Amino acid sequence: MKRLRRRMGVAAAALVVGVLAVAPSFGQGVQPRVETFDNGLELIMVERHEQPTVACGMFFDVGSIDDPRGQSGIAHLFEHMLFKGTRTVGTTNYEAERTFLAQQDELRSQMDVEMDHMRLRKRHGQMTDVLDPEQWTPKYAEMKKRYDGLIEAQREYIVNNELANLYSSNGGAMLNAGTAEDITMYFVQLPSNKLELFMWLESDRMVNGVMREFYVERDNVREERRLRTESTPTGKFDEAFEALFWQAHPYGIPVLGWASEVESITRADCLEFYKKFYAPNRCRMVLVGDFDPDKTIEMAKRYFGSLPASTFPRPLVVTEEPKPIAERRFYAEAETNPRVRIRFRGVAMGHSDEAALDMVSQLLSGKTGRLYKRLVTDEDVSSGQPFAGNEARKYAGHFEITAIVKDGSTPERVEKLLLEELAKLAEGEISDREIQKVKNQVLAGSVRRLKSNFGLMFQLGMFDTWFDWSYINESPKRMLAVTADDVRRVIAEYLDPTTRTVAIYTTKAGTKSDVDPELAQLLADMPEESHEMIKGMAKQFTSAEDGAKLGMMLQRMEQSLNSEQMPEEQKPMAEYMVKLIKARIAELEAKGDKESN
């Protein structure tokens, strides 16, 4: 896979950005054992006994493209809700809780009616923000006070973070989840003798989630959106750029959802979404590590075999992005270095032209690629590494070239040079040596990407959800068959400059570098397209106010660091993030001590 989409949940991206986002994740020679149960659950297993651990993943065939109209962000919000527990996990007395949940639902439906009245007032200019308590109607404010009282009463029975604590107290590490446009995943690494715990907890989560503290968590998602999209230097612009590029396809709708729609999602909406999309026949369970396959199959049948399949027909995405008929341009002034993004339409994963587009991206990228030689070495107009990437998703894809503009140059100049190098690749000579160098890198990467059990688990689950698990074997073979003529053909077919979509970011006046020098040094060795996501994560950690959540994140990241599964090249960034979290926790503790005195 080329790279994990930056819109995936921040915590999940933090764990896998090194595994999947740094280099192409090709592989060869993997022969998993695959079992499909009567209810449709697919179990994919790779047996490895080098270490007494198992990388475990649940991959659901659902993502933001499945968000119902008017409910964008529900797939991502639901991912959060499955960490709040079930009828048995996260509660001391679910029967007592049910009473409060029913009362909350009834009151919330009344609040929604009043909220609609406030939205009408906003449309008529009688108020400016329906989320501002100072502008609420007296009726809504009174109902909100009663609702908060019900939440407090329910908390007598809630066991916070019980799922995470059950995993961590049994040796679990790297517990997390992520939502993208066309997949939702849940994952953890466990000692081999704790695999049954995974089966019990995940089969319970598949059918018994109760959407506990739903509206509280919805507020947390709103805060996540603020931190990841609205408060990062280019987050809101990147979101707008996606909507500009994907004018018809649902890929243009943000995974986090449009703010106004997220605010309208109800607990009932989430329960309906749960019933439709979370079922054995919507799921791949992937296990890589130290286990007995025959015993594991029997164990999985005990826990998952009796769960009912969903009868809701899986809707195919029938909307196709029309071929662009003209150039589209996007200009933004942001608190960031000047940069250029040029995007073209691409292909879906498994398409016969995918490998050739991959070859184009590899010929252009890296310190030995054509873009670096022209823009950095020869012209000295770009800092960092210019980047070309082919992103093939389940239903469609895109090809993008991006570069940071160095002081003394202009975005327009850099854009011109980027297009010139693309034209040279299409029209000039492509040597056999140049092609072979990329193929050698593919072969080396195909072996390297298989070393980590956790990384292999991700690749198998994602590839099988988007296309087929065999992609891990077939993708390198397709790349090795690409010729210079194939490269020229796909450039002519897909990378037409007259139909490009361009984003140009210029630096907002008065902007100072917001990147810590240590982080800047770490980012220098990473693809430019991952920088904003990582900087946003760092900013999130340094501005967080919830010490308990930071403590949980710290525990998970330290477990990941101590795991033999983490590749060496990921550790410096992980160590830096751990340092940030520890410093912020210390600040919050000092602040609390000062206030108590």
Residue 8 confidence class, pLDDT cut points 50, 70, 90: very low
- Is 130 within the bounds of a domain? no
Alpha-carbon distance of 373 to 388, in angstroms, equals: 14
- Is 4 within the bounds of a domain? no
Q: Are residues 499 and 572 in the same domain?
A: no
What pLDDT, on a 0 to 100 scale, did the predictor assign at position 532? Answer: 64
- Is 322 within the bounds of a domain? no
Structural domain containing residue 238: 31-91+158-304
Q: Are residues 359 and 275 in the same domain?
A: no
Q: Are residues 360 and 500 in the same domain?
A: yes
Q: Are residues 450 and 387 in the same domain?
A: yes
Tens digit of pLDDT for each residue in 275-302? 999 999 999 999 999 999 999 999 999 9
Q: Count Cα neighbours of 153 within 13 Å in the Cβ-side half-sphere.
A: 15
Is the Cβ–Cβ distance between 553 and 581 less than 8 Å?
A: yes
Q: Are residues 187 and 236 in the same domain?
A: yes
Cβ-proximal residues to 395 (8 Å cutoff; 6+ apart), any chain: 65, 182, 249, 251, 317, 348
Largest CA distance in the chain: 75
Q: Are residues 499 and 541 in the same domain?
A: no
* Reduced DSSP (H G I as helix, E B as strand, rest coil) percent helix, strand, coil of the chain, to 5: 55, 15, 30
Alpha-carbon distance of 503 to 403, in angstroms, equals: 11
- pTM for the model stands at 0.84
Alpha-carbon distance of 192 to 53, in angstroms, equals: 5
Residue 23 confidence class, pLDDT cut points 50, 70, 90: very low
Query: Residue length, the chain?
Result: 597
Flag whether pLDDT at 462 surpasses 70: yes
Q: Are residues 230 and 295 in the same domain?
A: yes
Flag whether pLDDT at 17 surpasses 50: no
Q: Are residues 178 and 85 in the same domain?
A: yes
- Is 451 within the bounds of a domain? yes
Alpha-carbon distance of 156 to 96, in angstroms, equals: 10
φ/ψ (deg, to 5) at 521: -65, -40
Q: Are residues 284 and 360 in the same domain?
A: no
- Is 25 within the bounds of a domain? no
- Is 309 within the bounds of a domain? no
Is the Cβ–Cβ distance between 537 and 14 less than 8 Å?
A: yes
- Is 144 within the bounds of a domain? no
Tens digit of pLDDT for each residue in 185-244? 999 999 999 999 999 999 999 999 999 999 989 988 888 888 778 877 888 999 999 999
Domain boundary among 255, 271, 304: 304
- Is 338 within the bounds of a domain? yes
Q: Are residues 199 and 343 in the same domain?
A: no
Give me the number of domains the chain comprises: 3
**How many C-beta neighbours within 10 Å does residue 327 have?**
12
Tens digit of pLDDT for each residue in 509-521? 766 655 666 676 6
Section 252-270 average pLDDT: 93
Instruction: Show the beta-strand stretches assigned E in 464-524.
Output: 501-507
Alpha-carbon distance of 424 to 510, in angstroms, equals: 38
Q: Are residues 341 and 284 in the same domain?
A: no
Q: Are residues 167 and 243 in the same domain?
A: yes
Section 74-96 average pLDDT: 95
Domain boundary among 304, 339, 359: 304
Q: Write the CATH number for 68.
A: 3.30.830.10
Cβ-proximal residues to 357 (8 Å cutoff; 6+ apart), any chain: 346, 347, 390, 392, 397, 399, 490, 494
Q: Which two tokens stand for residue 334?
A: 């942001």
Could you say which DSSP state residue 170 is in? Answer: T
What pLDDT, on a 0 to 100 scale, did the predictor assign at position 543? Answer: 76
Tens digit of pLDDT for each residue in 316-364? 889 999 999 999 999 999 888 899 999 999 999 999 999 999 999 999 9
Section 247-253 average pLDDT: 94
